Amino acid sequence: MTRIHILNDELISQIAAGEVIERPASALKEILENSLDAGSTQISIEVENGGLKQIRVVDNGCGISFEDAPMAFERHATSKLSSLNDLFQIKSLGFRGEALASIASIANVELFSRQEGKRTGVHYIIDGGKMKVHEISGCPKGTDISVRGLFKHTPARRKYMKSESREYLHILKMISHMALAHPQVGFRLMKDASKVFDLPSQTLEERIRSLYGGDTLQALIPVRYHQSNLIIKGFVGKPELARRSKKYQFIFLNGRCIESRLINHAVKEAFHSLLMHEKYPWFLLNIYMDPQLLDVNVHPRKTEVKFVNQQEMYRAVRGSLYHALQSNSLSPSMNLLESSANTFTSQRYFQSKPNLQLALDKDMASENIFTIGDMKIRPIAQVALSYIVAESEEGMVLIDQHAAHERIRYARLMEALEKESPLKQSLFTPLEIDMGIEAIKLIEEYGDTLSKIGFEIESFGEKSFILRAVPAGLGKGKPESLLKDILTDIAETWKQNHSKNLKEFLLTFTACRGAIKFGDTLSLIQMQALVRDMENTSHCEHCPHGRPAMIKLSFDQLESLFKRKNF
């Protein structure tokens, strides 16, 4: 074993670079943060070969003086901190003073910069941490910085880079996040001499439309929260925007792009039962708070933060999103971007011919069909013994009868659970059930929760239990089979993926078991009763699994489909 010795400055810089500069997107992020800290209102970015050949950033910020240019590339040199106290109230995006030094140690960096009011600027070149040029130069106000041959001085790291196309995708994602975090700044992106986008200074809504399209913007709900030390502004997407990845989840804290499991979990909880399994919601949150109430110095890339009061942050995010979702209609609309010829191409498989049941009930006079109360949605027909066709003042409504009834049952079961008075039905004759070892352990472990949703289970010997009651409205199934099915789902589904708490999981299961099924014939009176219950149930647009229960088609959309307008 060799003796302990001090590392040389070059090796120290390259080790530090490995912590901060993982890939081209990391280097570009650090440069963009400097541009934003410099007060830039317009930033132009050029990348070649996924950023591995060249990254160039031109801004109109405050610029760097001739004297300060060499210091900008020294380790731990910064204009953004002057005392220890500044570290606990950071307001700038960059602050450690190691980004440019790290980049310069592994690449060739060329800089032109001029401050406002100065007749001349500076031209500075540094390669592998060694200064090559430092001279006075004529150049526009702001900073023009180019990084060439990234990782050329650390070839071992270069070989771990992904393909150029993959590295470019990381760059595009990072720039998109920056552009969303700072919509008041214009961003221009060039890829291998081809323009990708040129975004002017915009409102946040305009920036979202530019990057993700008008359909996305229309499916967003505003989020607002304002307290003395915490402000949350942004948007949350309707369930129809949810995806299988977290790609469309944006958290900006005082203008900084961050990642936070705490906030992600709070958002997921706000959706409660509105999302399908393994789907992640679309959201963009701008959070503003006193810098003294958080610590951004906990990660080399400054993407993670710690909050002084994590519980307050959790409650604020969850509460603001929950209120936004509760206060808005979440019903998806039919997408008319495709031609009408492609709109209805999917067909449901039927064992027999689809049955269109007319709305006229034999026990009701036709003139009295729609005189029962003040219903906003009026049922007209049942299609394929599965869907209800209805009309409203705005247009046509299609209802999935199982999903709708499932949501109604879920809401009632949840209300009873919150009142600690579960809806249950007692068995005429209590059942003795002989359980296996695994089932016994599950009942012992989760018996309290099962009791809260309506099960009455008593121990009876070493391997048996007495079942006295089950949750109300579970249909014609055998009670012992229901209990065994629930225990199986706990063991094989819930324990493998705790995306919902156990109470919610069991309520969803119970609501589904007792709901109207596909293939159940409904009379007009039954359809009216179902729709009336929907109108009195929050979030009736989605079942507890997050699937749509109702789709609306406006009269304008109908006229477009039948080519009566806009053609």
The CATH number covering residue 450 comes to 3.30.1540.20
Residues 107 and 185 in one domain: yes
Task: Evaluate whether residue 141 is within a structural domain.
Answer: yes
Rounded alpha-carbon distances, angstroms, from residue 287 to 224, 258, 329, 383, 463:
10, 10, 25, 47, 54
Given a contact cutoff of 8 angstroms between Cβ atoms, the answer to whether 77 and 27 are in contact is: no
E-strand stretches of 360-507: 378-383, 387-391, 395-400, 424-434, 456-459, 464-471
Give this prediction's pTM. Answer: 0.64
Residue 266 clears pLDDT 80, i.e. is over it = yes
Same-domain pairing of 82 and 188: yes
Do 254 and 163 share a structural domain?
no
What confidence score (pLDDT) does residue 496 get? 67
- Considering the domain architecture, whether residues 246 and 362 belong to the same structural domain is answered as no
Token pair for residue 141? Answer: 């106000």
209, 217 contact by CB (below 8 A): yes
Confirm whether 194 is domain-assigned: yes
Residue 211 lies in a domain: no
Q: What is the pLDDT of residue 2?
A: 63
Q: What is the mean pLDDT of residues 105-114?
A: 94
pLDDT at residue 96 in the model: 47
Is 159 in the same domain as 82?
yes
Does 408 share its domain with 487? yes
How far is 7 from 226, CA to CA, in rounded Å? 50
DSSP state, residue 492: I
User: Three-state SS string across 8-68, please?
Assistant: CHHHHHHHHHHHHCCCHHHHHHHHHHHHHHCCCCEEEEEEEHHHCCEEEEEECCCCCCCCC
Per-residue model confidence as pLDDT tens digits over 391-407 = 999 999 999 999 999 99
Instruction: For residue 291, give both structure tokens.
Output: 């810098």
**Does residue 423 contact residue 507 with C-beta atoms inside 8 Å?**
no
Domain end call among 201, 232, 265: 201
Residue at 437 is within a domain: yes
373 lies in the same domain as 446: yes
Comparing 6 with 57, the larger pLDDT belongs to 57
**Residue 337 belongs to some domain of the structure:** no
User: What CATH number does the domain containing 149 carry?
Assistant: 3.30.565.10
Long-range contacts of the stretch 219-224 (C-beta < 8 A, 24+)? 219/282, 219/332, 220/282, 221/324, 221/325, 221/328, 222/324, 223/283, 223/285, 223/320, 223/321, 223/324, 224/320, 224/324
Strand bridging mode 186-191 / 42-48: parallel
| Count of other CB atoms within 10 angstroms of residue 428 | 5
Q: At what angle do helices 24-37 and 164-181 cross, to 10 degrees?
A: 20
Domain of residue 168 covers 9-201
Both 114 and 166 in one domain: the answer is yes
Domain end, chosen from 264, 291, 326, is at 326
Instruction: Spell out the residues 6+ positions from residue 265 whose beta carbon is closer than 8 angstroms to its own.
Output: 314
Domain assignment present for residue 340? The answer is no
From 201, 232, 259, give the residue that closes a domain: 201
* CATH number of the domain encompassing residue 317: 3.30.230.10
Same structural domain, 354 and 482: yes
Side-chain-side CA neighbours of 199 within 13 Å: the count stands at 28
In a domain, 341, yes or no: no
Decide which of 235 and 359 is more confident.
235
Identify whether residues 413 and 447 lie together within a single domain.
yes
Can you tell me whether residue 98 is helix, strand or coil? Answer: coil
Residue 227 and residue 196 share a domain: no
pLDDT for 370 equals 37
pLDDT of residue 9: 63
Give me the chain's average pLDDT, please: 81
Please state the domain count of the chain: 3
Residue 282 falls inside a structural domain: yes
Shared domain check, 558 and 455: yes
Determine the pLDDT at residue 183: 96
